[in-house]
Amino acid sequence: MNRYYNVIRPFINLIIFGFALSFEGASPERTTILVLLFAGLVAWGLIRPRFKNGQAFWYAADAVLILLLEYQSKYLVNYFFHILYISAIVEAGISLDRKRGTFAAVILSAAALSKYFYAMGFDVNASTLSQLLFNLFALAFLITLINFGKLQQEERDKSQRLYTELMEAYHRLEELSIQKEKAAVLEERNRIARDMHDSLGHRLTSLIMQIEMAKGYIKDEPGRTDEYLDRMANAARGALTDTRQALKTLSGKDGSSVSGIIGMIEDFGNSTGIAINYKLPGLGLKPEESIVLYRVIQEAITNAARHGKATRIDIQAGRDDDGVWFCIQDNGTGGEYTEGFGIAGMRRRLEEMGGSLDIQSGQGFRLEGRFKMEGDK
């Protein structure tokens, strides 16, 4: 709107000036002065927008040029010249913000009323006073109207800005929601992989060891082949059971308990021939806590058999003021080790429960760790 008004304003002012000249009926000399002053006003109106700083103050030059036009008039007030003040006030209201526009309008209004005050210095009469008051209220009404329009525009701009910010925040939340959903899917995949590794890896390790043992026994005791095959079939069934158990875990229905941990330890010892000693006093664990301890012990003894070639494993666990602690020691090969998926999953489980894991490898393999009870996390 500002740009359009700046384009048409010179033409509007030219029409107003034409009526003013017609109303004046001035001599050629005074007409020349009026034309030159008006040309200066038009030129200044084109130059002024280029000054970015102090734009409200520069309207004082408009006020001076219009005032000079008025003082060249033979009348007390040439109302056509007076309209030029209104044109400048409207432009200031459109071009500037509300505060600066009001400042420029006050300057222009003061110039518009100055001729009345000047005339009253010579003769105070009802006609001049009434014209002064009329113009004063008219200019005040115009400034108020422009300020009201600017205020409405500011409110619309503010509402639009708030709406834009709200939409940007909505889109950011939408993106975060998508990222969170992707993270949840990834976490679920990792959980599935971890549970399948813990359960199936344990059973398959036991099955592989039985197969290796059976190779030697079948040569020496072929009559017991059926017995070994039954044991291997039972181990395979156990793997299937653990697969189903893993699926229950994923749905939050895993019912592992201390008795389940003991059963898993004894079953693994019987299947592999490894001597496993354990001390698991009544820990009073909740299902989620039992699952963590179950998976940690399961992974530890599986690694002891698979990688450490251990023949003896000692397991201890208990409770103290800081939560649940455990220690698992084997007599395997020990030495250097790489923290693979199993140990990483074990560490992750403990950290999710506010715990930690310490591994010592030398003469055998030793795991020490702890995690907080559910109410202490």
Chain centroid offset of residue 361 CA: 45
What does each C-alpha distance from 314 to 244, 275, 327 come to in angstroms? Answer: 28, 9, 8
Name the domain boundary from 108, 124, 140. Answer: 124
Domain that residue 350 falls in: 259-377
pLDDT beyond 90 at 54: no
Least confident of 93-107, 138-152, 181-195: 181-195
Per-residue confidence band for 216, with pLDDT thresholds at 50, 70 and 90:
low
Per-residue confidence band for 326, with pLDDT thresholds at 50, 70 and 90:
very high
Supply angle C-alpha 194, 196, 200, rounded to 5: 130
What pLDDT does 264 receive? Answer: 85
User: 224-281, pLDDT tens digit by residue?
Assistant: 667 767 777 777 766 666 666 656 555 544 445 788 888 889 888 888 889 999 998 8
Integer Cα distance of 152 and 365 in angstroms: 77
Name the domain boundary from 103, 124, 145. Answer: 124
Give the single-character DSSP code of 53: T
Give the single-character DSSP code of 374: G
Q: List the structure tokens of 96.
A: 């500037």
User: Per-residue pLDDT averaged across 1-24, rounded?
Assistant: 78
pLDDT beyond 90 at 313: yes
User: Strands (DSSP E) along the chain, which ranges?
Assistant: 275-279, 312-320, 323-330, 356-362, 364-371
Q: Which of 47, 54, 60 is nearest to 10 (CA)?
A: 47
Whether 216 is in a domain gets the answer no
238 vs 371, which has greater pLDDT? 371
Partnered with residue 150 across adjacent β-strands are none
Per-residue confidence band for 199, with pLDDT thresholds at 50, 70 and 90:
low
Whether 32 is in a domain gets the answer yes
Q: Write down the mean pLDDT value for the chain.
A: 81
Number of compact structural domains in the chain: 2
Tell me if 318 sits within 8 A of 281, measured CB to CB. Answer: yes
| CATH number of the domain where residue 331 is located | 3.30.565.10
User: 24-43, pLDDT tens digit by residue?
Assistant: 888 888 889 989 999 998 88
Whether 114 is in a domain gets the answer yes
User: Per-residue pLDDT averaged across 164-193, rounded?
Assistant: 75
User: Per-residue pLDDT averaged across 186-207, rounded?
Assistant: 65
Whether 218 is in a domain gets the answer no
What pLDDT does 217 receive? Answer: 65
pLDDT beyond 50 at 285: yes
The CB density around residue 294, as the number of other CB atoms within 10 Å, is 23
* Secondary structure (DSSP) of 232-279: HHHHHHHHHHHHHHHHHHHTT-----HHHHHHHHHHHHHHH--EEEEE
Whether 156 is in a domain gets the answer no
Integer Cα distance of 264 and 296 in angstroms: 12
User: 109-138, pLDDT tens digit by residue?
Assistant: 898 888 888 778 777 788 888 888 888 898
Largest CA distance in the chain: 142
User: Per-residue pLDDT averaged across 180-201, rounded?
Assistant: 64
Name the domain boundary from 98, 124, 150. Answer: 124
Whether 317 is in a domain gets the answer yes
Whether 162 is in a domain gets the answer no
Whether 120 is in a domain gets the answer yes
What pLDDT does 48 receive? Answer: 83
Give the single-character DSSP code of 187: H
What pLDDT does 99 receive? Answer: 87
Least confident of 74-88, 185-199, 254-268, 327-341: 185-199
